[in-house]
Structure 1
Amino acid sequence: MITPADTEVPDPEVAREVPQGRWTARLLASLISMVLVLEVLSASLTMVAVGLPRIVAEYHTTQGAWLSAAYMLVGAVISPLVGKLADMHGKRKLLLIMMVLATVGAVVSASAPTYGLMITGRTLQGFLTPAMFLVYSLIRDVFPRNKVALSVSISMSGLGVFTAVSPYVTAWVLDHWGFRGIFWIIAVCLPILVVMISLTTPETSVRVRSRVDLLGAVLFAIGLSGILVGVSFGPTWGWGSTSTVTYFVVGAVVLAVWVVSALRLRDPLIDIRYFRRRPLFLTAVTAGLAYGSTQSFTTVLPILCMTPAALGLGYGLGLDAFGFAPILAAFGIALAVGGFIVGKLVRYIEARMLLGLGLLLIGLGAVLTAVEHENRGLLIVFATLVGLGMGFGVSSVPNLVIAAVPAQVQASVASVIVVVTSTGSAVLPVAVFAVLNSHIATAAQGHVLYSGSGMNLAFVIPAACAFFGMIVSFAVRWRIRG
C-alpha cells in the first residue's frame, strides 16, 4: 500500500526534475550502455530458446521448460522487492547489483557439468529481469526531461531489432562454440556494461521510505516453486505418488500462508488487494495468459523445427540453428510491428479490445502450428501471427494499467502486473512440458523424443489459454472510467 510515509521526499533539491539539456558524449554513452543491458536481457531469453534442443540433449533431460521457468520465477519474485529497494537505496545501485548476480549465473551455466547447476545459473540470471523497469526509471530520473521520451523509445526499438537478429547471432555461436558460448557471451558483456554504467550514469535520488517484506518473498517463492515442481515431475514420479502430492500440498499451503500474510501486512511484497478492482484483476489475468501462451510457443517451437523429419514422429523439419533463424526473426519483427500498431490505434480503440485481438492472433498462430507444422514457410507465417499478437499484448497492458489507477500508485501496480506476467511465463511452459513428458515416443541415445500427439497438445494448450483470454477481453465489460 502507498502511504504518505512511503512517498516522503527527504530533500526537495534532490527530488527536483532534471532540467532540459542537450546531448553530450557522456549522455549518449549512458543511453547506449543501458540499451545494451536490455539487449542482453532479450538475449537471455531468445538465444537460450534457440539453443534449447542442444542443451536438453547434452544433459539428457526432459525438464527443458525449467530453463525459462527458473528465469521467470525469479523475475516474478524479486521484481517488486527490487523496485522497492531501488526507491529506497538508489536505482543505479540496484541495477548494478542485479547485473553482477546475472553475470555469476551466466558463468555457472556456461561451465555447468550437470543440469542442476545449469538451472542454478539460470536462476541467478533471472536477477536481470528487473533491469527493464530500472533502466526506464533511471532514464526518467537522471536524463534531461526533453530527452526522456526519445531515450525510452530508443530502448524499446532496440529490443525489437535484437529480437530479429538474435537468431542469426545464436546460430553462429552454436556452430562455433556450442550452447555454452551463449552464456559466455552474456558473462563477458555484463561486466563491461557494469563499468560503462558506473562511469556514465549518475545515481538517482533516494525518494521513498518503506519496509521490505522479505518473508513474503520467501513464502511466494517456496509456494510457487513447490507447485511447479509437482507439475513438472508429476509424469515421471506419477501423479498420485507421495513426492508429487507432497510438493502440491506444501506449495498450496505455503501460498495460502503468503496470501494471509499479504492481506495483513501494511506494506506487503505484492499488495493483492489491488486485485479487488475488477479492471486490474482482468488485466492481470489476460496479460498473464498472453505472456504465458507466447512463452510456451517459443519454447516448444525450436524442438519441433530441429527434430529430424526422418524419425517419422509426425513432426520435425531437421533444421539447424541457421535454418530456424528466419522463423524466430519473423516473430521478433512482428512483435515490434504489433507494438507500433497499438501505439497508433489505442487513442481510437479500447486497449482491452486490442489486447483481445492480440490474444486471438496468438491463439490462431499456436493452433495452426498444431494442425500444420511440416512446411517452414507456413511456420514463418504462424510465428508472425504469434509475434504480432504478443506485440499487441505488450503495448496494450501498460495502457490498461495507466487507465485503471491514479498516477501515484502506477509504479506499484505495474510491478504487480510484472509478477503476474512473469508467473504466467514460468507456469504455462512447465505445464506444457509435463504434457510432453507424458507423451514420450522413444529415447534415442539418451535423447528424449516426443510423440506427434504430444507435440500437437503442446501447441493446443497455449492456443486454448490465449482464446480464453480473448473471450475475457471481448465479452466481459471492464471499461475504466475516471
Structure 2
Amino acid sequence: MSEPRQAVIGGGAAPGSGWTPRLVLSTLFLAMILEALSLGATMVSIGLPEILKEFPTTQGGWLTTTYFLSGAIACPLLGKAADLFGKRRVLMVALLLSGAGALICAVAPTFGVLLVGRALQGPVLATLSLIPSLIRDVYPPRQAVLASSITITGLGVFALFTPLFIGWLIESSGWRGLFWFDTVWTLALCGAMLLVTPESKLRQQARLDVLGGALLTGGVLAVLLYVSMGRSWGWLSGRELFLLLIGAVLLASFLLHTRRAQDPIVNLSLFRRKPLLLVAIGGAIGYGISITISQVLPLLALTPREAGHTYGLGLTTVEYAGIGTPHALMTVAAGLLVGFFVPRGRHPQIFLFLGLAGWAVGTPLLIFLNDSFGELFLAAAVLGLSNGLVNAAVPNIVMRATPAGDQGSTAGTVQLCQTGFSAVTPVVMFAVLAPHATLLTGGGVVYAEQGFRIWLVVTAVLALAMLLIGTVLLRERRGESVQEFVADRPGAAAKSAPQPAGAGAEGPAAG
C-alpha cells in the first residue's frame, strides 16, 4: 500500500485530516459549477420547443452541437493550460467565457447570434475533466473519490429542483430567462471558487497545440455540415461533396500533425493503454447517448398529442419536472454509489459496463414506454441511472490509469473524445429526424414517432456494441497498472516526479 498522499498547497487538506469545513464548501461549489454545466445543456433541451417557435428551423440540433464542438476543442487546450498555469486558474477562465456566452444568448436577435453565444459557452465543458484533476491534487485520497463522484453527477438537492426551476423560468421569463440566470449563476461561482478552493501546485512544461485544435475544429465542422445539410442540399451535390472533401483533408492533416507534434492536442500514444482507450470510447458513447436522450425526453413529453402524432403528453415545462427530476435524481444516486464502492476496492470500469448495459436496455424501453406519464417516468428513471453510472465511472478510471502529473492533459484528451462525440450525435439525430419533421403554421417543429424510434434503436445498438467490445477486448487485466505505463515512457521519471506520494494505481480511485 502506498503512503497517504500529501496535500500539495498551503491551506489544502492534510493527510488523514478527513473532511474539513473548507473541503465541504469547496466540494459544494465545485458541484455547483458542474450543475451550471448541466444547466447549460439541459435548459436548451427543455427550452428547445420555445426556441424553435421564435426561430423556426429543422437545425435545432446545432444549439447543442455548437456547444459541444466548442467544448471538444477547448477541453484538451485548457487541459494543457491547466498543467502549465494551474487548474483553478483555468477553471475560472472557462467560467468567465461561459458567462459571456450566456449573456450573448440572452440578448440574441437571430438564430446565428444564438449559436455564437453557445459556442462561447462550450469551454465550460472542460470543467468535467479539470475539476476531478484539481480534486485529486488538493484532497486526501479517500475524500477525493467521493468528491469527484459527487461533483461529476451533481448533488441531490440541485437535481430535485433544476427541472422545476427551468420550467418556471421558461413560463415566467421565456427561454431568454434561462440564459440571464445562467449568466449570473456562472459568474457568481467564479468568486465562490476563488474563496474556498485551493490551487494545485503541480505544473508541467507543455505547449498549446493551437494548429491541431484548428485542424480538428475545421475537419469536424465540415463533416457535421455535410451530415446536417445533406438532405436539403443533396447528398451528392457539388457543395456537399466539397464539404466532405474539405473535412476529410483537414482531419487527415490533423492526424499527421498529431503524430509529429511535440505536444499534440490529442496524445494518440495514450490510447495504447486499454484502460484509457476504454474510458475514451465508452465514455464518449455513453455521454453522446445521454445528450440525445436529454433532448428526446422533452420532445416526447412537451409535444401536444393534438399535433396529429401518436406520441406526446402535452405537458407544460413545469409539469415536465415530474419526469426530469427523477431522471436527474437517479443520475445523482448512481454517482453516490460509485463514490461509495470505488474507495472500497470496486474497479470503476464495472460501473461503466453497468451504465452501458443500462443504456442498451433503457433506450428500447423508451420506444414502447412513452404513451403515458407513468411510462415515460419509468423509462426516464432507468436512463438516469445509466447516465450516472457512466459519468461517475469515467473520472475515476482516468484517475486510476493516469499519473498525477499528467492529469490535466490526459483528462482533457479523454474529455475531447466525450464532448467531440457529443457534438456529432445531436446533428446525426436531427438528420435522422428531419425526414419526419413538420413545420407548424403557428411556429415550431414536430417530429413523427418513427424518427424517434429509428434513433433510439441506433443508440441501443451503440451501447450494446461498446459493452461487448469493452468487456471482451478493452477490460483492464491484472498487472496493467499506471506504474507500468509510466515506466515504459521515455523520460517518464522526470515527468512524473512532481506527483505526490500515493498518487499511482492505489491513489484516490483505488482508495
TM-score by length of 2: 0.84
Find the aligned partners of 1:138 and 1:405 in 2 and give their Cα distance.
14
- CA, structure 1 residues 238+225, in 2 after alignment: closer, same or farther (shift >3 Å)? same
2:240 is aligned, of 233, 244, 260, to 244
In the other structure, the counterpart of 1:456 is 453
In the other structure, the counterpart of 1:7 is none
**Letter of the 1:395 counterpart:** A
- Is the CA contact (8 Å cut-off) linking 1:355 and 1:473 kept in structure 2? no
- Is the CA contact (8 Å cut-off) linking 2:364 and 2:457 kept in structure 1? yes
- CA, structure 1 residues 24+451, in 2 after alignment: closer, same or farther (shift >3 Å)? closer
Find the aligned partners of 1:94 and 1:461 in 2 and give their Cα distance.
37
State which drifts further: 189-198 or 12-21. Answer: 12-21
User: 1:275-298 CA deviation, whole Å, 9 max, x = no partner?
Assistant: 233443333222211111121111
In the other structure, the counterpart of 2:466 is 469
- CA, structure 1 residues 351+141, in 2 after alignment: closer, same or farther (shift >3 Å)? closer
In the other structure, the counterpart of 1:3 is none
**CA drift at 1:415:** 2.2
In the other structure, the counterpart of 1:296 is 292
Q: Do residues 224 (structure 1) and 220 (structure 2) align?
A: yes
**Letter of the 2:281 counterpart:** V
Q: Secondary structure at the match of 2:208?
A: coil
1:328 is aligned, of 324, 329, 344, to 324
Q: Which 5+ residue runs of structure 1 have no aligned equivalent?
A: 1-11
Find the aligned partners of 1:407 and 1:25 in 2 and give their Cα distance.
25
**Letter of the 2:367 counterpart:** A
Identity across the alignment (%): 36
In the other structure, the counterpart of 1:261 is 257
In the other structure, the counterpart of 1:424 is 421
In the other structure, the counterpart of 1:364 is 361
User: 1:106-156 CA deviation, whole Å, 9 max, x = no partner?
Assistant: 011011111111111111011211223434444455568897566556535
State which drifts further: 132-141 or 373-382. Answer: 132-141
In the other structure, the counterpart of 2:35 is 39
Q: Do residues 480 (structure 1) and 473 (structure 2) align?
A: no
Q: Do residues 90 (structure 1) and 86 (structure 2) align?
A: yes
- Is the CA contact (8 Å cut-off) linking 1:286 and 1:472 kept in structure 2? no
Root-mean-square deviation over aligned CA pairs: 2.9
Find the aligned partners of 1:150 and 1:390 in 2 and give their Cα distance.
17
Find the aligned partners of 1:244 and 1:383 in 2 and give their Cα distance.
37
1:76-475 to 2 correspondences below 5 Å: 76-141=72-137, 152=148, 155-156=151-152, 158-201=154-197, 203-205=199-201, 207-343=203-339, 351-406=348-403, 408-475=405-472
**CA drift at 1:210:** 1.4
**CA drift at 1:258:** 0.5
Q: Secondary structure at the match of 1:449?
A: strand
- CA, structure 1 residues 327+420, in 2 after alignment: closer, same or farther (shift >3 Å)? same
Find the aligned partners of 1:256 and 1:331 in 2 and give their Cα distance.
40
Between Structure 1 and Structure 2, how many residues are aligned? Answer: 471
- Is the CA contact (8 Å cut-off) linking 2:305 and 2:311 kept in structure 1? yes
State which drifts further: 170-179 or 56-65. Answer: 56-65
Find the aligned partners of 2:202 and 2:354 in 1 and give their Cα distance.
41
Find the aligned partners of 2:407 and 2:190 in 1 and give their Cα distance.
29
- CA, structure 1 residues 188+282, in 2 after alignment: closer, same or farther (shift >3 Å)? closer
Find the aligned partners of 1:424 and 1:112 in 2 and give their Cα distance.
27
State which drifts further: 346-355 or 161-170. Answer: 346-355
Find the aligned partners of 1:416 and 1:271 in 2 and give their Cα distance.
7
State which drifts further: 71-80 or 451-460. Answer: 451-460
Tell me: higher relative CO, structure 1 or 2? Use CA pairs within 8 A at least 6 residues apart: 2
- CA, structure 1 residues 159+115, in 2 after alignment: closer, same or farther (shift >3 Å)? farther
TM-score by length of 1: 0.88
User: 1:334-393 CA deviation, whole Å, 9 max, x = no partner?
Assistant: 112223334455567664454233212112221121233211111111111111112221
- Is the CA contact (8 Å cut-off) linking 1:336 and 1:391 kept in structure 2? yes
**Letter of the 2:478 counterpart:** R
- CA, structure 1 residues 188+386, in 2 after alignment: closer, same or farther (shift >3 Å)? same
**Letter of the 2:96 counterpart:** V
- CA, structure 1 residues 259+190, in 2 after alignment: closer, same or farther (shift >3 Å)? same
- Is the CA contact (8 Å cut-off) linking 1:70 and 1:426 kept in structure 2? yes
Find the aligned partners of 1:473 and 1:157 in 2 and give their Cα distance.
22
- Is the CA contact (8 Å cut-off) linking 2:13 and 2:20 kept in structure 1? no
In the other structure, the counterpart of 1:63 is 59
- Is the CA contact (8 Å cut-off) linking 2:146 and 2:339 kept in structure 1? no
**Letter of the 1:359 counterpart:** L
User: 1:76-112 CA deviation, whole Å, 9 max, x = no partner?
Assistant: 1111111211221233322222222111100110111
- Is the CA contact (8 Å cut-off) linking 2:307 and 2:446 kept in structure 1? no
- CA, structure 1 residues 135+282, in 2 after alignment: closer, same or farther (shift >3 Å)? closer
Q: Secondary structure at the match of 2:312?
A: coil
- Is the CA contact (8 Å cut-off) linking 1:351 and 1:396 kept in structure 2? yes
**Letter of the 1:84 counterpart:** K
- Is the CA contact (8 Å cut-off) linking 2:228 and 2:428 kept in structure 1? yes
State which drifts further: 90-99 or 221-230. Answer: 90-99
- Is the CA contact (8 Å cut-off) linking 2:74 and 2:123 kept in structure 1? yes
User: 1:407-431 CA deviation, whole Å, 9 max, x = no partner?
Assistant: 5545433322211111121111210
State which drifts further: 424-433 or 467-476. Answer: 467-476
**Letter of the 1:274 counterpart:** L
Find the aligned partners of 1:136 and 1:239 in 2 and give their Cα distance.
42
- CA, structure 1 residues 272+65, in 2 after alignment: closer, same or farther (shift >3 Å)? same
- Is the CA contact (8 Å cut-off) linking 1:294 and 1:462 kept in structure 2? no
